[in-house]
Structure 1
Amino acid sequence: MASIGIVGAGTAGLHLGLKLLAQNVAVTLYAEQEPARVRAGRLLNTVTHHAPTRARERELGVDFWAAAELAMDRCAIHVHGPQPFSLTGRLSEPGLCVDYRAYLPRLAEEFVARGGRLEVGAVDVAALETLAERHTLVVVATGRSGLTSLFPRVPELSPHAQPPRLLFAATLDGVRMPEPACMQANLVPGQGEVFESQFITRHGRVPSVLIEALPGSELAMLSTRRRDEDPAAFDALLLHFLHRFAPSTYERITPSAFGVRGPLEFLQGAFTPVVRRPWAALGGGRFVMAVGDTHVTNDPLAGQGANAASASAFSLAASIQEALRSDRPFDEAFCHDAEVRMWAAVAPATDWSNALLQPLAPHVGELLFTGSRDTRVADAFLSAFMIPERILAVCATPEATAAFIANATTPPPEALATTLGATQARALAL
């Protein structure tokens, strides 16, 4: 019987494992930590799951946070500068921010409940060779223990030579959350970006912040200064920056109660976005595949990391299932074909993430400004913004953007017919 081994229990590993289990494939998941330890650990991220990923979660039967009141169906973008403006819109398909200290353990437990095997322990390159003899195919869904060294960088798809942003994320006390729930994005020239969202934790919903600081900027201090040396001073600095660069958040803060929620409630760091070849040859004619962040690591600016990981996992699951059905070997030809399919699934997220790391094109800036004046444009733009395949087409050229604005502001035929009918009725009455 075929057996698949998955090293790594993040979004990609869990979604792949659950998808294969649903297809009656035997799966063993190799996790670095027990679910209980993940629950008690440090903040992992502040990711948002957008509509395509939430649809995949429904397909997997793991949409455990489906209650409508938990989702965020509004988003606001505040453009700072000499002539600041803001746009706020309603999302056609709400997003969801769940603390991964709750999300990952819950999915891991569900994986086991459905018949998957979970083994806990670190896996390095040497151990991977052993696993490859145990399983029909091994998939790497983590970069820990030096495993990314197996998968070479693809230069033509990896334009960044250093981290484009320095990162700080935290859950917060002393911030009154907006009602209804609304993601906030502040675009600050020369500094970077400041995001606020509402985060679903085991303690309930709490406010969270993600700061993407340009290297060398004032905001970068939040990524490089050690909070544990003086938590009060650090929190005062964070409050200062929110006052300057996120006033829509600051106006809901009670300064005397403000601060990071605890010593495990923040993270700092930086990484260089990269696309790697998602397969490698092992001894004995065996091959190993990479999925999720091990294949493609995107800057979190576009909020697409977990979403791309899920898309990548579903793509690879389809390739594995087709190979098993046709008794196709997991050889180099399989790896090449799976790579093409996976890249097609995740390339839009990478392209959109890289685009946002550059200064806004004039026609995109004009689109944002138009959205600040017309809620129809704001609704349409922000709904598309969360789905790379849609927004890339919208922003591709000035002509595409103009057509998008025209379409957003043109009444649908049925509305036009109703308006014309009412006009004719008034004319007859006169």
Structure 2
Amino acid sequence: MASIGIVGAGTAGLHLGLKLLAQGIPVTLYSEQEPDALRVGRLLNTVTHHAPTRARERELWVDFWGVPELAMKRMSIHVQGPQPFSVQGRLSEPSLCVDYRVYQPRLAEAFVERGGKLEVVAVDPALLEKLAQRHTLMVVATGRSGLNAMFPRIPELSPHTRPPRLLFAALLKGVQMPQPLGMHFNLIPGQGEVFESQLITRHGRVPSTLIEAIPGTELAALISRKRDDDPAAFDATLLDIMRRFAPATYERIDPTEFGVRGPLDFLQGAFTPTVRRPWAQLGEGRFVMAVGDTHVTNDPVAGQGANGASASAFTLAHCIQDALLSERPFDETFCRDTEARMWAAVAPTAYWSNALLEPPPPHLIDTLVTASRDTYVADAFMSALVIPERILPVCASPESAAAFVTEARTPRADMLAATGALGWDTGTRIRPLAG
């Protein structure tokens, strides 16, 4: 019987493995760590799962944190500068942030509970060749141990040759979380971005930050200092960053308590966004596929890395099932056909992530200014912002942005009928009528 081997137990590997199991295909997952080791390790990221990924999680029956009170339903964008302004809107479909030290071990356990095999071993290219003899197809969902080098970079789809941002992410203490809960994006022209969200951790809900600094800027100089060298001094610097660049967060900070939550609750570094060819040839006519970050590595500025990885994994699962049902071999033709389908699934996340690393065009700023004054436009914009397939057409041209604003300002007939029947005011914000 056909079997699939997956190297890497991140979001892409887990979603792929769970999806294949649901399709009745035997899977072995090769992971560098036991789930329990991951639980007590260093913070992995501060990712947010948006509506399409959450729908896939429900399909896989792994929406373990799907109760409404845990979701984030609001988003704010604060544009800093000489004339600062803010946009606040509601998401039509809530997003969710779960600490991956909680998320990934729980999904790995679900994978084993459902009949998947989990082997703890570090896989390098030499071992990958041997594992390929055990399985009908091998899939790489990690770039560790030199595996990334197997999949060549595609220059025309990879505009960056060096890291466009220096990164710092952390769980925080001494920050009162906003009410209602939601994500805050601070855009600082010429410096970078400061994000705030709230993660579900094993300690409960915890505030977090992600700072993206343009290399060579003052913000980059501040966050590039190694926190381990002097934690207290670094936390004092972080407090000053919040005061200067994220005032909406700073006003909820207790300076006497503020800092990184613990010694393993932060990350510092940088990487270059890259699109790679998602297949390579092994010995004896066998091929290996790449999925998730191994295929497309996105900067986290758009919050789309894990979401793209999940979409990529589902697409690959469908391609594998189609090949098995039609008794097609996993040959070069399969790889090339699958590459086209996978790129179609993840291209929007790559294009949108790269777009946000550049200065925004004037029509996008105009749309944000309009949204700051009109709650219909704000809600529509925020709901589109987290789904690349929706926001890319909006930002494509001044004409498309203007059409989006016009449509957002026109309440749907069904909404008007419903709110009218309930006796609600349908002005700039829907609210119960007084008296």
Q: TM-score range by the shorter chain?
A: over 0.9
**Aligned 1:44-123 pairs, distance under 5 A:** 44-123=44-123
Cα distance in structure 1, aligned partners of 2:394 and 2:270: 30
The 3-state SS of whatever aligns with 2:403 is helix
Deviations 1:26-52 (A, max 9, x none): 000000100000000000000000000
For residues 209-268 of structure 1, what are the alpha-carbon distances to aligned partners after superposition, in whole Å with 9 as ceiling and x for unaligned?
Answer: 000000011221344211111111000000001000000000000000001011100000
Question: Using the alignment, how far apart are the partners of 1:59 and 1:223 within structure 2?
Answer: 39
Contact 1:168 1:222 in 2 (8 A): no
Deviation readout 1:150-179 (Å, 9 max, x if unpaired): 000001000001100000000000000011
Rate the CA distance shift 1:213–1:325 in 2: closer, same or farther, 3 A. same
Aligned sequence identity (%): 74
Give the distance between the partners of 1:169 and 1:417, measured in 2 at CA.
45
Separation in 2, partners of 1:270, 1:86: 28
SS in 1 for 2:175: coil
Contact 1:371 1:381 in 2 (8 A): yes
Cα separation, 1, equivalents of 2:73 and 2:420 = 32
Distance 2:420 2:218 in 1: 56
Other-structure match for 1:407: 407
Q: Give me the whole-angstrom Cα distance separating, in 2, the residues matched to 1:81 and 1:321.
A: 52
Q: 1 CA distance for matches of 2:161 and 2:170?
A: 27
SS class of match (2:110): helix
Q: Measure, in 1, the Cα distance between the counterparts of 2:390 and 2:168.
A: 28
In 2: Cα distance, 1:252 partner to 1:418 partner: 37
Q: Give 1:80 shift.
A: 0.8
Q: Which moved more, 1:215-224 or 1:242-251?
A: 215-224
Cα deviation for residue 412 of structure 1 reads: 2.0
What is the DSSP-based 3-state SS (H/G/I as helix, E as strand, rest coil) of the residue aligned with 2:133? helix
CA distance in 2, matches of 1:198, 1:269: 21
**Are residue 3 (structure 1) and residue 3 (structure 2) matched?**
yes
Which residue type is aligned with residue 147 of structure 2?
Answer: L
Match of 2:428 in 1: none
Counterpart position of 1:380: 380
3-state SS in 1 of match to 2:132: helix
Q: Is the aligned partner of 1:266 residue 2:269?
A: no
Q: Could you tell me how far apart the structure 2 residues matched to 1:120 and 1:85 are?
A: 50
Matches of 1:317 and 1:413, distance apart in 2: 40
Pair 1:200–1:420, CA change in 2 (3 A)? closer
Change (3 A) 1:130 1:344: same
- Give the letter aligned to residue 38 of structure 1: L
Q: 1:32 to 1:365 in 2, by over 3 A?
A: same
Deviation at 1:413, TM superposition (A): 2.8
Q: Which residue of 1 aligns with 2:307?
A: 307
Distance in 2 (alpha carbons) for counterparts of 1:15 and 1:259: 34
CA, structure 1 residues 42+391, in 2 after alignment: closer, same or farther (shift >3 Å)? Answer: same
Distance 2:148 2:137 in 1: 17
The residue that corresponds to 1:242 in the other structure is: 242
Partner of 1:220: helix, strand, or coil?
helix
Matches within 5 A, 1:121-160: 121-160=121-160
Using the alignment, how far apart are the partners of 1:226 and 1:141 within structure 2?
29
Q: Say if 1:377 and 1:233 are closer, same or farther in 2 by CA, change over 3 A.
A: same
Q: Distance in 2 between matches of 1:389 and 1:173?
A: 35
Residue 191 of structure 2 aligns with an amino acid whose one-letter code is Q
Whichever residue aligns with residue 312 of structure 1, its letter is S
Indicate the residue corresponding to 1:398 in structure 2: 398
Deviations 1:391-416 (A, max 9, x none): 00111111111010000111323466
Aligned partners of 2:339, 2:160: CA distance in 1, in Å?
Answer: 21
1:92 alignment partner, SS class: strand
Cα distance in 1, alignment partners of residues 347 and 158 from structure 2: 12
Instruction: Give the distance between the partners of 2:414 and 2:323, measured in 1 at CA.
Output: 48
Q: Structure 1 residue 81: deviation in Å? A: 1.2
* 8 Å CA contact retained: 1:9, 1:31: yes
- The structural deviation recorded for 1:180 is 1.1
Number of positions where the alignment pairs a residue of Structure 1 with one of Structure 2: 422
SS in 2 for 1:219: helix
2: CA distance, partners of 1:107 / 1:69: 21
Is contact 1:223–1:269 with CA below 8 Å preserved after alignment? no
RMSD: 1.4
- Give 1:214-363 correspondences, 5 Å limit: 214-363=214-363
Q: Distance in 2 between matches of 1:218 and 1:262?
A: 26
* Distance in 2, Cα, partners of 1:102 & 1:127: 29
TM-score (norm 2): 0.95
What is the rounded CA distance, in whole Å, between the counterparts of 1:151 and 1:142 in structure 2?
11
The letter for the 1-side match of 2:210 is: L
Q: Distance in 2 between matches of 1:130 and 1:346?
A: 30
Distance 1:224 1:367 in 2: 33
Distance in 1, Cα, partners of 2:27 & 2:400: 45
Aligned equivalents of 1:215, 1:131: Cα separation in 2: 41
Output the CA distance in 2 between the equivalents of 1:366 and 1:327.
Answer: 53
How far is 1:419 from its partner? 10
Distance 2:384 2:81 in 1: 24
Change in Cα spacing, 1:134 to 1:402, as seen in structure 2 (3 Å) is same
Unaligned runs of 5+ residues in structure 1 are 423-430
Give how far 1:108 is off. Answer: 0.2
TM-score if structure 1 supplies the norm length?
Answer: 0.96
Distance change in 2, residues 1:222/1:102 (3 Å): farther
- Residue 82 (structure 1) shift: 1.3
Displacement after TM superposition at 1:104 (Å): 0.4
Q: SS of the residue aligned with 2:218?
A: coil
Instruction: Tell me which amino acid in the other structure corresponds to 1:31.
Output: S
Task: Give 3-state SS (helix, strand or coil) of 1:54's partner.
Answer: helix
